Structure 1
């Protein structure tokens, strides 16, 4: 005997007890009562109904006072243990309650799955989720994180957090594993030329075209700075690994790029700044301070290069201990948290100085589109160049993935550090605007990069599965040929006889 779909409302399920005692929150009760008298009044009005009562353990109710009502088919406690049931309804009630329990279990599993999915998304994309939150906090309380504010972020954040980021990167780098990649000179030269020459100069040419429009000139130069900085260390290595690419090639070139970037990026910036269109960027609010290449190199080295080397030395000396600490503290998450703190400080300063007030909404929209276009265009271009079918040139699929991520991705922390080194807290208005293209590009490359990982991983997996499929196909053909040969031999034997 079973309850059909049209019999689901055969019973009315009611709760007797305080709402705070109700632990069966997933079950939908027809009615809820806090005392015996309310239930009795309800029963009298429901003369034609079959009622199942779920009784709270905190209620002291004489069951015999309830079972005298013919409408009550069964009584259960809150653990769904049957206390009473009409003999003629035992089977139906049992099936009905089992269905209710299954519904409760399904609902719990559904809720748990939903919650776990949300937590998984938050854990995976917590940085992107935290970014708008940090911007909102910066907008609401700019005096806390701004330069010269309550926490003196020009020292505690813009230097403290950046030094921490490069120090953690130094601790995380396992350079002993890079021995096999060192001699691949052609790959390294290609990536660095693409990152420091092809991308910056093509973006510079694009920026000169943009200067003929009404777009904010400081934002345009921010795009130039973004294109001139070195690649990221952590994110592009992780993405290369997840896409089944050559992670060691990515790691080596990320390290090499960040070291070279200390010297090349400022040189490119000063070169591009010589254009008369960007003359206004050469002046600062401090008349005694002048933009100087050697000064910038010194600051970049002290805040970026030195912590990186110190972290690497410590990692080489105490590798096992550092690996143990890394598992406990999660260097990557701490690195991202420090970066998020830097962004909060940058936005706090920008909001306090009114940097964003001069930006039109159309400029922001154009900036987003340009950043997306730059990332996608240069990603496709570097893949095409790397896979050109030229003898002694074409790179493998795994190398191509490393080349793409290293050649196109840009380091936000290095960019912020470079801007701080350029203006040394003397022109916060310009610093805020110059940082905006960097921040937007960082979000773009993480978002599009996540999609690229999926596409590139499928590309590699298809390449890996292709030989297996060919072998299976050849084996199948060989099996068919052998069967055909056996049949022919059998026919020949029959003819002889």
Structure 2
């Protein structure tokens, strides 16, 4: 394979590195209030484009079948909103014996209580070629569920309570997730033949939008004044976040392949990303509401600021590996299925 082909094949991974370096060099461009106006272009426009794109590219029959995949939905929601918060609580009990800043550990618990994101899990599932319909459903449903469940989890694990403006968050989710998907499905009915004939590169377009989100996320991270904390705690929490994500990805990968569940390789891809990713878009506003008046709010926010770009970066690195595994697993299943059907027909 020539250099040009290799660059073309791995352009997304290279793009991630480029945008991170650009964000580090000039974070003011993509931070809130900067020239890119991410509070509009990313929070509303980019996320809406992602879900309109998904609605346009998804076959309606696939979405209908995804709604009925109850076992998969239960797995994802119970894992991300029950197992992860409990596991992080146990992990923090061990980490509290170290010299890591206590407020950063509280922030790690906050991360565990957060709902799945409304964009990155879908884009990564789409990039791999997994069950995108299931990823969309669980991202949207998990976000709506998180509006109610996350404040309750924070109350249980951290003793924080507050009135959360459910109506404003629900309306925001509706406008950036539900409406674009429905609009995409409606438009698809009019240009269905053209889409099937031309097969636009929806996956590449989604990756391009994700690069914008990564850039603005890192701009916010690098420009955040609360990152001026002792280097040991900051590095330690970064390592913990990375190890936590790798463990959760491995756990969901192994658990979702148990014959008891009956998930397909494409289902496993959606489960891996939807169950382990946490929402920064919902998380930061929710933190500001639930912990309003806390002097250490900025410190509590750091683990979530670290977790979000890490999950996108790690996901981007894993895309090619997970895709290769999925294609191989699907071929194996098809061969086994073909062999079984031929044996059955012979016996008949």
Q: TM-score, normalised by structure 2?
A: 0.78
- Counterpart of 1:480? none
Q: Distance in 2 between matches of 1:443 and 1:147?
A: 21
Given that 1:143 and 1:352 are in contact with CA atoms closer than 8 Å, whether structure 2 keeps it comes out as yes
What does residue range 139-288 of structure 1 map to in structure 2 within 5 Å? 139-176=24-61, 181=65, 185=68, 188-212=69-93, 213=96, 214=100, 216-217=104-105, 219-221=107-109, 223-225=111-113, 228-229=116-117, 232-237=121-126, 239=128, 250-275=131-156, 277=158, 279=160
Do 1:199 and 1:378's aligned partners in 2 also have CA atoms closer than 8 Å? no
CA-based RMSD of the aligned residues comes to 3.6
Greater share of strand: 1
Distance 2:70 2:339 in 1: 36
Matched, 1:315 2:200: no
d(CA) in 1 for partners of 2:300 and 2:8?
Answer: 34
Shift of 1:169: 1.6
Shift of 1:227: 6.1
Q: How many residues align?
A: 326
Determine if contact 1:347/1:432 at 8 Å carries over to the other structure: no
Q: Which has the larger radius of gyration?
A: 1
In the alignment, does 2:304 pair up with 1:434? yes
Shift of 1:363: 1.6
Alignment equivalent of 1:451, drawn from 321, 329, 334: 321
Alpha-carbon contact 1:229-1:265 (below 8 Å) kept: no
Residue 99 of structure 1 is matched in structure 2 by none
SS of residue in 1 equivalent to 2:71 = helix
Match of 2:267 in 1: 403
Cα deviations by residue, 1:365-421 (Å, 9 ceiling, x for unpaired): 12111110111012111212xx03xxxxx62xxx43133222221399982432365
Equivalent residue for 2:221, pick from 347, 350, 354: 350
Counterpart CA distance in 1 for 2:46 and 2:106 is 25
* Cα distance change, pair 404–462 in 1 and its aligned pair in 2 (3 A): closer
Contact preservation (8 Å) 1:159, 1:303: yes
C-alpha distance in 1 between matches for 2:38 and 2:215: 10
Runs of 5+ unmatched residues, structure 2: 343-348
Instruction: Provide the secondary structure at the position in 1 that maps to 2:257.
Output: helix
Match runs of 1:476-495 below 5 Å: none
- Give the TM-score of the pair, scaled to structure 1: 0.57
Q: Structure 1 residues 370 and 325, CA, compared in 2 at 3 Å: closer, same or farther?
A: same
Return the alpha-carbon distance in structure 2 between the equivalents of residues 466 and 210 of structure 1. 41
Cα pair 1:162 1:303 within 8 Å, conserved: yes
Contact 2:27 2:220 in 1 (8 A): yes
> Which position in structure 1 is the counterpart of 2:345?
none
Contact 2:115 2:150 in 1 (8 A): no
Residue in 1 that maps onto 2:13: 128
Give, in whole Å, the separation in 2 of the partners of 1:205 and 1:299. 29
Higher RCO, Cα 8 Å, sep 6+ = 2
SS of aligned partner of 1:275: helix
- What SS class does the counterpart of residue 149 from structure 1 fall into? coil
The separation in 1 between residues aligned to 2:177 and 2:337, in whole angstroms, is 46
Q: Distance in 1 between matches of 2:341 and 2:185?
A: 46
User: 2:346 aligns to what?
Assistant: none
Contact 1:219 1:434 in 2 (8 A): yes
Identify if the C-alpha distance between structure 1 residues 361 and 423 changes in structure 2 by more than 3 Å, giving closer, same or farther.
Answer: closer
Worse overlay, 405-414 or 256-265: 405-414
| Residues 230-269 of structure 1: per-residue CA shift (max 9 Å, x gap) | 783343255356xxxxxxxx24423332342242122232
Task: Identify the range of structure 1 (428-437 vs 308-317) with the bigger mean alpha-carbon deviation.
Answer: 428-437
Residues 465 and 259 (structure 1), Cα distance of their counterparts in 2 relative to 1, 3 Å cut: closer
Measured in 2, the distance between the counterparts of 1:306 and 1:467 equals 39
2:168 aligned residue: 295
Cα 1:313–1:383, aligned 2, differ >3 Å: closer, same or farther?
same
Measured after TM superposition, the shift of residue 150 of structure 1 is 2.9
> For the Cα contact (< 8 Å) 2:121–2:273, is it kept in 1?
yes
| Structure with greater helix share of residues | 2
